[in-house]
Structure 1
């Protein structure tokens, strides 16, 4: 291998890690066709097929897996050398891609970016809003932010927020028209705003607590959305009752735009966690962003 082959070696390694040319292209800032040519060039030079390619997935061949076991430690050594050099120089730069649900992006990420821009102006953050369960590795993200109960296995998780308290909220105009529910059973006589998960397409089930017992309310929503912010907005417009994390609507409650009902039946839900695959070597820029966000959760 020659030094000029290093880009092709990196291309093969990242495509194998991401499991797709599209994810690798996003991570490396190249086009999928450029990566395909790089891997093909490497395969021609070695005289062996390194990747199985189908229309749906990419995976190493037996020869590719053997080669990757030899190649990956060397690339990790280069990564560590570059990180050590960056640590020594004091310059931290790079592109960090974060995948987060909307409330986490608004409440946990955006408020911290001013400090990041001031302290590390050469770090570029790309924030993607996603209410689904995107595979952050396949899509080329460095880190994701999800509610604790929705985390995948085999990840490093960093808590960013305390557990959430739920709230059922409505606009004053809706309550004036329809009355205030006194118990969860009363919801059957009210217009409720349902939330549908983007990935599974399941409807979110409203949960309540009475003492130590938790139970579910099976409702027929009059409006269904797949965006939490849209649910809050619909409630503010008087379209019905919404089931939301209380911290997400704190400002609207303080301003009187929303009113909380059924407060004594509120339940606790897991907080938000930043996560990344345990097998991934993080760039210094990504580590810096994680450390900054972690301070919010401490």
Structure 2
């Protein structure tokens, strides 16, 4: 059905219900002459007369009554459905799928969701924990979470957390038998706990920087894990140096269970951002979630 045909049917319905071209024209916000032309066009297209016109009244013909009996309920159903869709647009509801890593999920996303979701029972959120760089468009995610320095240029990026830092840590027992490293080159003489990257399968090179000088240090040791909590635990148990997010180790550093070294080689870097395609038309639920996650300094 063409848009023009739907408009003509709506015009017929108004005239038939009002039984007056004057009242129907006022209801539709058009002129009587334009409305008469529309009805004549519809009748010509259908090949039947739909309305009987007299100087005092307008009434449906037998064909008009038949069309009215079908058309009225159908248009009411369409109107109700459109109203329902408008309500869905205005009322935060629906499922939001987010691709993220463990650290962001635990430190940023879940704390925010824990506060948000009780107030919006019609919002459902699915977090997919992934250590790699998923194609959120191809894999049908609504959004992803990455560090600010790793974002694609064609994405809208919303900061959801503060700047981050890494920390190189070891236990007091570990340092009891060896001196603390003073330069990155000193790491070659230490047992270092490696991180096996889940995405590539390779070992992560420790990224260090000082005074604009950047280094990627390949470290060696007895242990390698693809789990940061295990790296932290092994460091606590005295098996070597771990390279972890500062907030992972902060409580243990403060309590003296871990000793931080080479702190001047671990500058801050852009924190987590929620990102999504610039062409995405956000739903009310998505807008609500983004507002709840947005980092405010």
Same fold (TM over 0.5): yes
Partner of 2:258: 258
Partner of 1:118: 118
> Are positions 1:290 and 2:276 aligned together?
no
Q: Would you say the 8 A contact 2:193–2:220 is kept in 1?
A: no
Partner of 2:38: none
TM-score, normalization: structure 2? Answer: 0.65
Q: Would you say the 8 A contact 1:102–1:229 is kept in 2?
A: no
* Shift of residue 81, structure 1, vs aligned partner: 7.9
- Rg larger in structure: 2
Deviations 1:200-226 (A, max 9, x none): 333322233343323332323432222
The 1:259/1:131 distance shift into structure 2, 3 A limit, reads: same
* Shift of residue 82, structure 1, vs aligned partner: 6.6
Q: Which has the higher mean CA deviation after the structures are superposed, 247-256 or 167-176?
A: 247-256
The 1:81/1:212 distance shift into structure 2, 3 A limit, reads: farther
Counterparts of residues 148-159 of structure 1 (less than 5 Å): 148-159=148-159
> Are positions 1:223 and 2:226 aligned together?
no
* Unaligned 5+ runs, structure 2: 2-81
CA distance in 1, matches of 2:283, 2:177: 55
Q: Say which SS state the counterpart of residue 117 (structure 1) adopts.
A: helix
Deviations 1:128-165 (A, max 9, x none): 22111122222232111111222234211111123222
CA distance in 1, matches of 2:177, 2:86: 64
CA distance in 2, matches of 1:108, 1:168: 22
* Shift of residue 192, structure 1, vs aligned partner: 0.7
Root-mean-square deviation over aligned CA pairs: 2.6
Counterparts of residues 92-107 of structure 1 (less than 5 Å): 92-107=92-107
Q: Would you say the 8 A contact 2:99–2:145 is kept in 1?
A: yes
The 1:122/1:244 distance shift into structure 2, 3 A limit, reads: same
Partner of 1:174: 174
Q: Would you say the 8 A contact 1:83–1:283 is kept in 2?
A: no
CA distance in 1, matches of 2:211, 2:137: 41
Partner of 2:87: 85
CA distance in 1, matches of 2:153, 2:231: 29
In the alignment of these two chains, the number of paired residues is 218
CA distance in 2, matches of 1:287, 1:147: 21
* Shift of residue 191, structure 1, vs aligned partner: 0.8
Counterparts of residues 17-32 of structure 1 (less than 5 Å): none
Counterparts of residues 273-284 of structure 1 (less than 5 Å): 273-284=273-284
CA distance in 2, matches of 1:201, 1:81: 51
Q: Would you say the 8 A contact 1:192–1:223 is kept in 2?
A: yes
Partner of 1:193: 193
The 1:223/1:82 distance shift into structure 2, 3 A limit, reads: farther
* Shift of residue 258, structure 1, vs aligned partner: 2.2
Q: Say which SS state the counterpart of residue 138 (structure 1) adopts.
A: coil
Q: Would you say the 8 A contact 1:235–1:241 is kept in 2?
A: yes
CA distance in 2, matches of 1:257, 1:186: 22
Partner of 2:207: 207
The 1:118/1:194 distance shift into structure 2, 3 A limit, reads: same
Q: Would you say the 8 A contact 1:207–1:267 is kept in 2?
A: no
Q: Would you say the 8 A contact 1:169–1:261 is kept in 2?
A: yes
CA distance in 1, matches of 2:158, 2:261: 32
CA distance in 1, matches of 2:118, 2:245: 31
The 1:83/1:257 distance shift into structure 2, 3 A limit, reads: farther
Partner of 2:60: none
Deviations 1:52-105 (A, max 9, x none): xxxxxxxxxxxxxxxxxxxxxxxxxxxx987742355xx322221121111111
CA distance in 2, matches of 1:151, 1:105: 17
